């Protein structure tokens, strides 16, 4: 299958601050690198939103026929607590607190990360390299940067000379910061004397005697800087210049800014043509933070074991909730928002479930399927606009329900095209899955009896009783849908 020539994607490029038409470096192939997690704790919901956002991009590019090499790293060393190259390694600190080996920490939380993303139905990346698996490559990069004149050694540690780099390029161009302002706003502290300039960042850090994670290098027994690993792994698997680099908005500075500086230092070109950043997730209108208690983990949402949501919400509903906002917008999660998303998700899936049972007409269709399909692609081509796509999907579901109720008609050819397109967008592009509904024999008989009693009340125009049965069932998580021939139900989790 070749790449669809009809679809022209516009991507918001953080580097230029504007939407640009996507043109891959290599015809029909896309190289995409996304910064993965630092595996020292359970993956949080904001991380999940970022990875779901890039899962959508991965899925859509594949849907259009591109061959995509999607690289997402695992940071298992070198990420210090402080961006100023101070403090403990986050994984080593966790290992000390839990009194286990650092690689036990890595294994524990990498497994949690994979399990959680699998529940969200994200596709695995093409390659998932680790920082500790690429120490040799990182040491070689340090040598190249030093040979180019942008790195200097101080007592076994190596730093990137930001001021020297800024003489030929613009450090801060991704985040919109000026180096002069950064220098002006920097406070001199006693612990920064090792660096030539406070803005310089570590390429290699000499390990203190108590530091567990260390490797031999030409400069010292130590460990690589956090920013270096992404440059090493992206260039190894995608080349010095590739198509897309992504991550959370919080990585724009300093992490991605430093990646650009490192990449330009070794190859005289920016590492990626398009820089994409997913925005943050808030909870009840406030920033998520464990320290304040305003925090919820994915598995706490799925199990209902939390003090924030009234009841459990499934991974599919949670994924659907996240896709109802554009990836560049701040998204606020709350109990009410999740309840609304659950209702919308059930409506969408019910529309898909009745497609095969629709009666077809010989001549006319009351819905322009071709125009609707074009609108769906226009939405996704506009910087992967999932909320607009979902609105278009609901337009189609409304028409499907009208056909089911006998108020509209559709030809066999249009039904086949509509059904195929709906399933492609819902399942393949958005990655939404129909949840299995488990009803035991006794409950099913009881529900059928209640539906029969409600239908009898409706026929007698006893709408008070009819509405009461419907509303009480809805409170219990059972949604009734009235069709032209029968009343069906879906279960909420």
Task: Look at residue 158 and tell me whether its pLDDT is greater than 80.
Answer: yes
Instruction: Please give the average per-residue pLDDT across 417-432, as a whole number.
Output: 98
Whole-number Å distance between alpha carbons of 338 and 324: 11
| pLDDT value of residue 441 | 47
Instruction: Please give the average per-residue pLDDT across 369-375, as a whole number.
Output: 97
Question: 229 and 82 in contact (C-beta within 8 Å)?
Answer: no
Lowest mean pLDDT, pick from 69-73, 80-84, 276-280, 405-409:
80-84
Lowest mean pLDDT, pick from 33-37, 118-122, 181-185, 380-384:
181-185
Which residue, among 265, 64, 73, 291, has the nearest Cα to 150 in the 3D structure?
A: 265
Lowest mean pLDDT, pick from 16-25, 28-37, 383-392, 470-479:
470-479
| pLDDT value of residue 376 | 98
Please write the tens of the pLDDT for every residue from 64-96.
999 999 999 999 998 887 776 777 889 998 999
For 95-127, b/e burial (b = at least 16 CB within 10 A) is beeeeeebbebbebbbebbeebbebbbbeebee
Query: Where is mean pLDDT largest: 75-79, 132-136, 207-211?
Result: 132-136
Q: Give, for 63, the enclosing helix (H) or strand (E).
A: helix 45-63
Confidence band of 133 (pLDDT split at 50, 70, 90) = very high
Q: Which residue has the higher pLDDT, 77 or 441?
A: 77
Whole-number Å distance between alpha carbons of 171 and 158: 19
- Tokens 């991965």 identify what position? 58
Whole-number Å distance between alpha carbons of 422 and 460: 38
| pLDDT value of residue 412 | 95
Tokens of 287: 């920033």
Residue 486 DSSP SS3: coil
Task: Look at residue 172 and tell me whether its pLDDT is greater than 90.
Answer: yes
Tokens of 427: 């399942």
Range 10-278 classified under CATH 3.40.50.620? yes
| pLDDT value of residue 484 | 63
Query: Where is mean pLDDT largest: 277-291, 344-358, 426-440?
Result: 344-358
| pLDDT value of residue 485 | 66
Distances (CA, A) of 258 to 14, 69, 79, 196, 283: 15, 23, 14, 17, 30
Instruction: Please give the average per-residue pLDDT across 335-345, as a whole number.
Output: 95
Q: Domains of the chain: which residue ranges?
A: 10-278, 282-429, 441-491
Q: What percent of the chain has pLDDT over 90?
A: 75
| Residue 168: other Cβ atoms inside 10 A | 10
Whole-number Å distance between alpha carbons of 39 and 91: 7
Whole-number Å distance between alpha carbons of 79 and 38: 7
Tokens of 404: 């089911």
Task: Count how many residues are written for the chain.
Answer: 493
In DSSP terms, 31 is beta-bridged to: 69
Helix axes 315-323, 335-353, angle to 10 degrees: 100
Tokens of 477: 């998580």
Residue 23: HSE in the Cβ half-sphere, 13 Å Cα cutoff: 2
- The mean pLDDT value of the chain amounts to 92
Confidence band of 190 (pLDDT split at 50, 70, 90) = very low
Task: Look at residue 439 and tell me whether its pLDDT is greater than 50.
Answer: no
| pLDDT value of residue 298 | 97
Task: Look at residue 187 and tell me whether its pLDDT is greater than 80.
Answer: no
| pLDDT value of residue 85 | 78
Cis peptide before 440 (omega within 30 of 0): no
Whole-number Å distance between alpha carbons of 303 and 151: 50
Question: 380 and 60 in contact (C-beta within 8 Å)?
Answer: yes
Task: Look at residue 246 and tell me whether its pLDDT is greater than 70.
Answer: yes
Instruction: Please give the average per-residue pLDDT across 203-225, as a whole number.
Output: 94
- Would residue 388 be called left, alpha or beta, if left means φ above 0 and alpha means ψ between -120 and 50 degrees? alpha
Task: Look at residue 440 and tell me whether its pLDDT is greater than 60.
Answer: no
Please write the tens of the pLDDT for every residue from 15-42.
999 999 999 999 999 999 999 999 999 9
- Indicate the class that CATH gives domain 282-429: mainly alpha
């Amino acid at each position: 299958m070749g790449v669809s020539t009809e679809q022209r994607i516009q991507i918001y490029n953080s580097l230029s601050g504007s939407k640009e038409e996507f043109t891959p470096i290599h015809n029909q192939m896309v190289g995409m690198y996304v910064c993965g997690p630092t595996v020292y704790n359970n993956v949080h919901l904001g991380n999940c939103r970022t990875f779901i956002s890039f899962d959508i991009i991965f899925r859509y590019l594949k849907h259009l026929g591109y061959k995509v090499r999607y690289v997402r790293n695992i940071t298992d060393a070198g990420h210090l607590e402080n961006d100023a190259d101070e403090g403990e390694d986050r994984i080593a600190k966790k290992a000390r607190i839990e009194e286990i080996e650092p690689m036990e920490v890595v294994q524990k939380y990498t497994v949690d990360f994979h399990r959680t993303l699998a529940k969200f139905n994200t596709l695995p990346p093409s390659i998932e390299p680790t920082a500790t698996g690429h120490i040799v490559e990182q040491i070689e990069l340090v040598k190249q940067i030093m040979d180019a004149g942008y790195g200097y050694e101080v007592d076994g540690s190596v730093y990137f000379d930001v001021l020297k780099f800024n003489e030929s390029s613009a450090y801060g161009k991704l985040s919109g910061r000026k180096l002069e302002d950064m220098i002006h706003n920097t406070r001199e502290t006693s612990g920064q004397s090792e660096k030539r300039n406070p803005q310089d960042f570590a390429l290699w850090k000499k390990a203190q005697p108590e530091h567990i994670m260390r490797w031999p290098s030409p400069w010292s027994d130590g460990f690589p800087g956090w920013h270096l690993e992404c440059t090493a792994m992206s260039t190894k698997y995608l080349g010095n210049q590739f198509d897309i680099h992504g991550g959370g908005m919080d990585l724009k500075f300093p992490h991605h800014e430093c990646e650009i500086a490192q990449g330009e230092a070794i190859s005289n070109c920016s590492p990626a043509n398009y820089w994409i950043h997913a925005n943050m997730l808030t909870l009840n209108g406030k920033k998520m933070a464990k320290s304040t208690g305003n925090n919820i983990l994915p598995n706490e949402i799925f199990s209902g074991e939390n003090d924030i949501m009234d009841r459990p919400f499934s991974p599919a509903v949670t994924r659907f909730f996240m896709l109802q906002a554009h990836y560049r917008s701040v998204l606020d999660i709350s109990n009410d928002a999740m309840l609304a998303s659950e209702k919308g998700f059930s409506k969408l899936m019910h529309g898909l479930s009745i497609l095969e049972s629709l009666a077809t007409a010989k001549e006319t269709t009351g819905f322009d399927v071709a125009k609707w399909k074009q609108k769906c692609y226009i939405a996704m081509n506009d910087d992967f606009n999932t909320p607009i796509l979902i609105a278009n999907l609901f337009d189609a579901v409304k028409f499907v329900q009208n056909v089911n109720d006998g108020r509209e008609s559709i030809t066999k050819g249009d039904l086949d095209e509509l059904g195929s397109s709906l399933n492609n967008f819902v399942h393949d592009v958005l990655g939404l899955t129909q949840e299995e509904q488990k009803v035991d024999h006794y409950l099913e008989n009881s529900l059928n009896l209640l539906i029969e009693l409600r239908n009898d009340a409706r026929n007698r125009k006893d709408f008070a009783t009819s509405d009461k049965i419907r509303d009480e069932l809805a409170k219990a998580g059972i949604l009734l849908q009235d069709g032209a021939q029968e009343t069906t139900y879906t279960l909420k989790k």
